[in-house]
């Protein structure tokens, strides 16, 4: 995905017809991705052991009579051969019908509408905070001396390697249990979202910081910075107008990927902080073998991922003048 964004950048053919074709192929690609996600998730969840009919009647381990189990199978079409279930599933999806969750017994689209906003808020805020932290770190490291470089790059590597559940536990211990300044679990308003966001942002900031620092250092040593300096541009202007754009470019193209990783991080963070969201829905759905809900959530995540990648591509063009189409 990342490479697609980068290679999408510099290729610019200034003809409207080509642009139209490009949009068409992009739409076709998106549909292919969604179909692939639906297909893979359908078969994977049927390959792993476990009976979806049990999910319908109360989960594995319920004492359930054979008649009740059969009734559930027939009602949800689970008595049909797998390929028929698959065709029915794809047919429903093609008409934008995500079906009804086995466990929640409500339409999957309602579940997603209920929980997607919470996950989006979490991931967008985390991405923003990660960006701010990464940029600040990159600028500090490139300005400072050797010590700043050593400390900075150590910070980047360490924070990029920290697992979410560990960061969350430490943040809760320090800020909720000891200092009592923030809630340990989710709460309405800004205070409740701070710890989840910071938990997700720290490893990502470390990762983004590494690439941003590298390209900022490259930029500061490149001829255009030299000529800017020669023109009499201030050090502030050099860093904040010229070099920062360079630093931002790999960050932007990585943001598409980062968004995906944030959503998988949301599964962990939403569980630890008892925060509502799609991550928790997905976890519960996978454990329960709730096929429609798993498929619905994965399709939603894939769709968000596609949109974010397109946005990243647009941002890339805006920031990097070389990729702009001149007539």
Partner 1 sequence: MSAFTKTTASIGAAALLIALAACSAEPASSSTDATPVSGGTLTFASGDAEPTCLDPAQSGNVPQALVSTQYIESLFYQSEDGEIEPWLASGWELSEDGLDYTITAQSGISFSDGTAFDAEAIKANIDYIRDPATKSSTGAYALAKVDSVEVTDNTTAVIHLTSPDSALLESLSQVWLPIQSPTALERGLEANCESPVGTGPFIVESWEKQSSITLVRNDDYTSPPPGASHTGPAYLDSIVWKFIPDDASRFAALQTGEVDVVDRVAPESLAALEAHSSLTFEGSSRPGYPESLVLNSTKAPFDDVKVREAFIRSLDIDAGLESVYFGSVDRSNSVLSTATKYGIETPDAYSTDVDKAKELLDEAGWTLGSDGIREKDGESLTVSFLINGDQVLAAQKALYEQFQASAKQVGIEVKLNSVDVATRYAQLAEWDYDIASAYYTKNSADVLRLIFDSANTELVGGYHSNTTGIADKDVDKLLRAAAESADEDERTDLYAEAQEIVAAGYYQVPIFDQQTRLGIKNTVVHGTRVIPALSLPTFYDSWLTR
Q: Which of 135, 172, 219, 254 binds partner 1 (CB under 8 A)?
A: 172
Find where tokens 């003809």 sit. 15
277 Rama sector, left if φ>0, alpha if ψ -120 to 50, beta otherwise: left
CA distance to 151, 160, 260, 326, per residue, from 157 (Å): 10, 5, 20, 40
- Under the criterion CB under 8 A, does residue 115 sit at the interface with partner 1? yes
Q: How far is the CB of 128 from partner 1 (least distance, A)?
A: 24
The window from 10-18, 111-119, 125-133, 231-239 that contacts partner 1 (CB under 8 A) reads: 111-119
Q: How far is the CB of 176 from partner 1 (least distance, A)?
A: 5
Q: Which of 17, 105, 231, 324 binds partner 1 (CB under 8 A)?
A: 105
Our CB check for partner 1 shows the closer of 132 and 274 to be 274
- Under the criterion CB under 8 A, does residue 3 sit at the interface with partner 1? no
Our CB check for partner 1 shows the closer of 167 and 247 to be 167
Q: Find residue 107's DSSP bridge partners.
A: 100
Choose among 111, 48, 76: nearest CA to 287.
48
Q: Which of 139, 249, 288, 308 binds partner 1 (CB under 8 A)?
A: 288
Choose among 91, 108, 90: nearest CA to 99.
108
Choose among 10, 19, 8, 12: nearest CA to 326.
12
Report the site for partner 1 in 249-278 (rule: CB under 8 A).
271-274, 276-277
- Under the criterion CB under 8 A, does residue 185 sit at the interface with partner 1? yes
Our CB check for partner 1 shows the closer of 222 and 261 to be 261
Q: How far is the CB of 278 from partner 1 (least distance, A)?
A: 10
- Give the distance from CA 296 to its chain's centroid: 16
Those residues with Cβ within 8 angstroms of residue 253's Cβ, 6 or more apart along the chain or in another chain: 2, 5, 6, 9, 312, 316
Q: How far is the CB of 130 from partner 1 (least distance, A)?
A: 22
**Rounded to 5 degrees, what are φ and ψ at 289?**
60, 40
Q: What is the C-alpha to C-alpha distance for residues 311 and 260, in angstroms, rounded to an integer?
A: 14
Q: Which of 85, 210, 215, 281 binds partner 1 (CB under 8 A)?
A: 281
The window from 27-35, 200-208, 231-239, 286-294 that contacts partner 1 (CB under 8 A) reads: 286-294
- Under the criterion CB under 8 A, does residue 114 sit at the interface with partner 1? yes
- Under the criterion CB under 8 A, does residue 166 sit at the interface with partner 1? yes
Percent composition of the chain: helix, strand, coil (DSSP 3-state, to 5): 80, 0, 20
Our CB check for partner 1 shows the closer of 271 and 323 to be 271
Angle between helices 190-220 and 108-143 (to 10 degrees): 40
Q: How far is the CB of 74 from partner 1 (least distance, A)?
A: 10
Choose among 280, 94, 316, 101: nearest CA to 196.
280
- Under the criterion CB under 8 A, does residue 183 sit at the interface with partner 1? yes
Instruction: Give residues in contact with partner 1 (CB under 8 A).
Output: 48-51, 53-69, 71-72, 103-105, 111, 114-115, 163, 165-166, 168-170, 172-173, 176-178, 180, 183-185, 187, 271-274, 276-277, 280-281, 284, 287-289
């Amino acid at each position: 995905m990342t490479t697609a964004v980068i290679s999408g950048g510099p290729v610019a053919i200034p003809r409207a017809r080509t642009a139209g074709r490009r949009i068409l192929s992009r739409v076709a690609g998106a549909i292919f991705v969604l179909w692939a996600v639906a297909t893979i998730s359908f078969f994977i969840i049927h390959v792993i052991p476990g009976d979806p009919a049990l999910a319908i009647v109360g989960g594995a381990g319920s004492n359930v009579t054979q008649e009740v189990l059969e009734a559930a199978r027939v009602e949800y079409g689970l008595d049909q051969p797998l390929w028929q279930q698959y065709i029915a599933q794809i047919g429903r999806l093609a008409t934008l019908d995500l079906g009804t969750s086995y466990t929640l017994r409500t339409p999957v689209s309602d579940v997603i509408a209920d929980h997607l906003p919470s996950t989006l808020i979490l991931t967008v805020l985390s991405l923003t905070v990660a960006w701010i932290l990464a940029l600040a770190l990159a600028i500090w490291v490139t300005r400072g001396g050797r010590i700043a470089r050593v400390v900075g790059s150590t910070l980047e590597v360490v924070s990029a390697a920290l697992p979410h559940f560990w960061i969350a536990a430490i943040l809760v211990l320090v800020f909720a249990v000891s200092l009592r300044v923030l809630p340990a679990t989710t709460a309405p308003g800004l205070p409740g979202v701070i710890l989840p966001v910071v938990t997700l942002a720290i490893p990502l900031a470390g990762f983004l910081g590494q690439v941003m620092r590298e390209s900022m250092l490259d930029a500061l040593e490149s001829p255009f910075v030299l000529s800017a300096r020669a023109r009499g541009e201030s050090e502030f202007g050099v860093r904040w107008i010229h070099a920062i754009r360079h630093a931002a470019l790999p960050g932007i193209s990585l943001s598409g990927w980062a968004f995906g990783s944030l959503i998988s991080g949301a599964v962990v963070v939403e569980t630890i902080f008892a925060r509502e969201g799609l991550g928790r829905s997905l976890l519960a759905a996978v454990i329960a073998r709730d096929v429609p809900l798993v498929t619905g959530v994965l399709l939603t995540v894939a769709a968000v991922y596609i949109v974010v990648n397109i946005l990243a591509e647009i941002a890339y063009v805006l920031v990097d003048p070389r990729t702009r189409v001149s007539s």
